[in-house]
Amino acid sequence: MELTNRFIARQAILDAQSQCIGYELLYRDRDSERATLVDAGRATMQVLDCAYLFGIENLCGQLKAFIKCPQEVLVSDFINVLQPTRTVLEIVETAVPDPDTLKLCARLRQSGFALALDGFLPGDTSFMFLPLVDVVKVDLHTTTVEFLRLLKEKAALGTRLLAKHVETREEYERARSLGFDLFQGFYFCQPQVMATKELSPSRISNLRLLQATVNEELRFSDIETTIKEDAALCYRLLRFVNTVEFCVYSSVKSIRHALALLGERNIRRWILLTATIAAADDYKRRELLRCALLRAKLGELVAPQAKCSEYEGFLLGLFSLMAVILDSPTIPSQIELPASVSAALAGKEGRLRRLLEVVISYERSEWGQCENLARTLNLSETDLSTAYVRAIAWLSKIPL
Range with top average pLDDT, 48-52, 259-263, 300-304, 393-397: 300-304
Range with top average pLDDT, 21-35, 115-129, 349-363, 379-393: 349-363
pLDDT of 35? 47
Q: Give the model confidence (pLDDT) of 203-216 as tens digits.
A: 777 777 877 776 66
Q: What are phi and psi of 327, to 5 degrees?
A: 55, 45
pLDDT band, very low/low/confident/very high, at 231 (cuts 50, 70, 90): low
pLDDT of 318? 81
**Section 134-149 average pLDDT:** 87
pLDDT band, very low/low/confident/very high, at 146 (cuts 50, 70, 90): confident
pLDDT of 204? 75
pLDDT at 302 over 90: yes
pLDDT at 3 over 60: no
pLDDT of 169? 84
Q: What is the mean pLDDT of the chain?
A: 79
* Distance from C-alpha of 59 to C-alpha of 87, rounded to nearest angstrom: 12
Q: What are phi and psi of 160, to 5 degrees?
A: -100, 140
pLDDT of 2? 47
CB-based burial of residue 369 (10 Å sphere; 0-12 exposed, 13-18 middle, 19+ buried)? middle
State CA 232 to chain mean position distance. 19
**Section 49-61 average pLDDT:** 74
**Section 114-129 average pLDDT:** 80
pLDDT at 28 over 70: no
More confident residue, 14 or 240: 14
Range with top average pLDDT, 71-85, 127-141, 276-290: 127-141
Range with top average pLDDT, 177-186, 223-232, 237-246: 177-186
Beta strands in 53-120 (DSSP E): 64-69, 87-91, 114-117
H/E stretch holding 292: helix 283-302
The pTM is what? 0.57
Q: Give the model confidence (pLDDT) of 303-332 as tens digits.
A: 999 999 887 898 888 888 877 776 666 766
Contact 37, 43 (CB under 8 A): yes
H/E stretch holding 162: strand 160-164
More confident residue, 189 or 342: 342
More confident residue, 2 or 184: 184
CATH code linked to domain 2-195: 3.20.20.450
Q: Radius of gyration (Cα) for the chain, nearest Å?
A: 24
pLDDT at 248 over 70: no
pLDDT band, very low/low/confident/very high, at 236 (cuts 50, 70, 90): confident
More confident residue, 362 or 188: 362
User: Rounded to the nearest 10 degrees, how much is the dihedral formed by the CA atoms of 141, 145, 146, 152?
Assistant: 100
pLDDT of 212? 76
**Section 275-287 average pLDDT:** 59
* Distance from C-alpha of 69 to C-alpha of 42, rounded to nearest angstrom: 10
pLDDT of 326? 66
What are the structural domain ranges in the chain? Answer: 2-195, 202-281, 284-396
**Section 290-295 average pLDDT:** 83
pLDDT of 33? 46
Contacts of 137 (CB under 8 A, 6+ apart): 90, 116, 117, 118, 119, 120, 162, 164, 184
Contacts of 346 (CB under 8 A, 6+ apart): none
**Section 42-52 average pLDDT:** 77
* Distance from C-alpha of 313 to C-alpha of 395, rounded to nearest angstrom: 16
pLDDT of 32? 47
Here the contacts of 185-191 (C-beta below 8 Å, separation 24 or greater) are 185/140, 188/12, 188/14, 189/11, 189/12, 190/11, 190/33, 191/9, 191/10, 191/11, 191/26, 191/33
